[in-house]
């Protein structure tokens, strides 16, 4: 097998042994696996068999976890029911009641709520601070801190995290690290290779790529993934075989999708950056001379009626998610980040005028014209 990403994403390193040698892994749409006798059943519990019950393990979910782990350069991976359940499993693999987490303050709203509210009820406290200045991160570390949590590209303002610096800080205080790599994908960034312990994906997004599944994947150090897998099994956060199969099918086109979507995003970002009625354009231009990701966030000028802008879009859909092959938009303040306190949103710059754009594979000229026309129609 070749060593290039475009080749690796299509071909599994693990050879599947099947009686019927199908080119594509079949869908093991079963709740349980049969045994011929009690001796064979006992053999499973002694480590001689692979599958018992689909909540515990299934060939399709295993294939997904292993495939994303291979792309990230990690030794192990596990699939789960959603990105949030994968984050939860990752956190619980290193933290327990009485422990403390330091997390970036400019992260996805659902992750913010999980860390601030749900984990708080489990006795795990989180301090949110700016990771732009690692002095503030270091100052937030306590004696009971066990984990640093951030995103490789933050949502929705697209700040590129300095992962090597995060790794060095974590080593200094003997902390674990967990990074959400959903926006970048392993096509653009491989945090595990840079020294991050655990990497999570909302596979609902670019890994699946077609807006037709909900899934999560966690990859990383083998001993941590083993603990995370136990949490997924025992908390019932497993992924269904069919959704795992669909996600694996989508994963095969990740390279070609990300290449086109990222190129389109850079061109849209350049057009918006030069638009007189766009106050600010967020795109990580400096991260890569060619492109870096398929997300663009803009802040509309005060002369643009935000509601009218959304109404003026024609073929671009308004959705609360991202990363399908079609270009879509969302309003972070009212969807993905409504769980954040208003004062936090205001401090971060997530205002009513901020629009998050998930750029698709359409022709870039059509994408640019669509947004230019919507802005023109929405002028006060």
Q: What is the pLDDT of residues 188-227, one digit of tens each?
A: 999 999 999 999 999 999 999 999 999 999 999 999 999 9
Among all chains, which residue has been given the structure tokens 């079949």?
A: 26
Q: What is the pLDDT of residue 207?
A: 98
Q: What is the pLDDT of residue 18?
A: 67
Cis previous bond, 102, omega within 30: no
Helices (H), 46-202: 59-72, 83-92, 109-113, 119-121, 134-140, 163-173, 185-188
Q: What is the pLDDT of residue 308?
A: 97
Question: What is the CATH number that goes with domain 254-377?
Answer: 3.90.1150.10
Among all chains, which residue has been given the structure tokens 């949590």?
A: 149
DSSP SS3 for 298: strand
Q: What is the pLDDT of residue 2?
A: 58
Q: Domain spans of the chain?
A: 5-251, 254-377
On the 0-12 / 13-18 / 19+ scale of CB atoms within 10 A, 279 is middle
Same fold, 5-251 and 254-377: no
Q: What is the pLDDT of residue 145?
A: 98
Q: What is the pLDDT of residue 288?
A: 74
Contacts of residue 185, Cβ cutoff 8 Å, sequence gap at least 6 = 201, 206, 207, 254, 258
Q: What is the pLDDT along the chain (380 residues), one digit of tens a residue?
A: 557 888 888 887 666 666 778 888 999 999 999 999 999 999 999 998 889 999 999 999 999 999 999 999 999 999 999 999 999 999 999 999 999 999 999 999 999 999 999 999 999 999 999 999 999 999 999 999 999 999 999 999 999 999 999 999 999 999 999 999 999 999 999 999 999 999 999 999 999 999 999 999 999 999 999 999 999 999 999 999 999 999 999 999 999 999 999 999 999 999 999 999 999 999 998 777 677 899 999 999 999 999 999 999 999 999 999 999 999 999 999 888 887 888 888 888 999 999 999 999 999 999 999 999 999 999 98
Contacts of residue 321, Cβ cutoff 8 Å, sequence gap at least 6 = 204, 205, 211, 328, 330, 358
Helices (H), the chain: 5-8, 38-45, 59-72, 83-92, 109-113, 119-121, 134-140, 163-173, 185-188, 222-234, 241-251, 254-273, 306-312, 342-348, 364-377
Question: What is the CATH number that goes with domain 5-251?
Answer: 3.40.640.10
């Amino acid at each position: 097998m070749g060593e290039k990403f475009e080749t690796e994403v299509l071909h599994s390193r693990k050879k599947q042994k099947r009686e019927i040698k199908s080119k594509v892994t079949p869908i093991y749409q079963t709740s349980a696996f049969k045994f011929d006798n009690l001796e064979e059943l006992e053999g499973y519990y002694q480590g001689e068999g692979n599958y018992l019950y689909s909540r515990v393990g299934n060939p399709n979910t295993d294939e997904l976890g292993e495939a994303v782990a291979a792309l990230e350069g990690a030794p192990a991976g596990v699939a789960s029911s959603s990105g949030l359940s994968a984050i939860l499993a990752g956190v619980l693999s290193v933290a327990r009641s009485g422990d403390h987490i330091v997390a970036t303050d400019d992260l996805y709203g659902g992750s913010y709520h999980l860390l601030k509210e749900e984990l708080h009820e489990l006795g795990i406290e989180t301090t949110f601070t700016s990771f732009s200045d690692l002095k503030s991160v270091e100052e937030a570390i306590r004696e009971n801190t066990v984990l640093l949590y951030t995103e490789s590209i933050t949502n929705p303002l697209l700040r590129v995290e300095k992962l090597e610096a995060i790794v060095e800080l974590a080593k200094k205080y003997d902390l674990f690290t967990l990074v959400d790599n959903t926006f970048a994908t392993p096509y653009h960034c491989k945090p595990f290779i840079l020294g991050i312990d655990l990497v999570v994906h909302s596979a609902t997004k670019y890994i699946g790529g077609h807006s037709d599944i909900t899934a999560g994947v966690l990859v990383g150090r083998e001993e941590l993934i083993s603990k995370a897998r136990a949490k997924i099994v025992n908390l019932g956060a497993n992924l269904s075989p069919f959704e795992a199969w669909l996600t694996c099918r989508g994963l095969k086109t990740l390279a070609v999708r990300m290449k086109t979507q990222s190129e389109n995003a850079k061109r849209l970002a350049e057009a918006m950056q030069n638009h007189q009625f766009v106050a600010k354009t967020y795109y990580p231009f400096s991260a890569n001379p060619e492109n870096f990701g398929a997300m663009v966030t803009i802040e509309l000028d005060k002369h643009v009626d935000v509601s009218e802008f959304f109404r003026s879009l024609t073929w671009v859909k308004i959705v609360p998610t991202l990363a399908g092959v079609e270009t879509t938009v969302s309003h972070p303040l009212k969807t993905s980040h409504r769980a954040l306190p208003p004062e936090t949103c205001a401090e971060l710059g997530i205002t009513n005028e901020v629009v998050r754009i998930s750029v698709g594979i359409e022709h870039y000229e059509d994408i640019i014209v669509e947004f230019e026309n919507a802005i023109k129609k929405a002028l006060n």
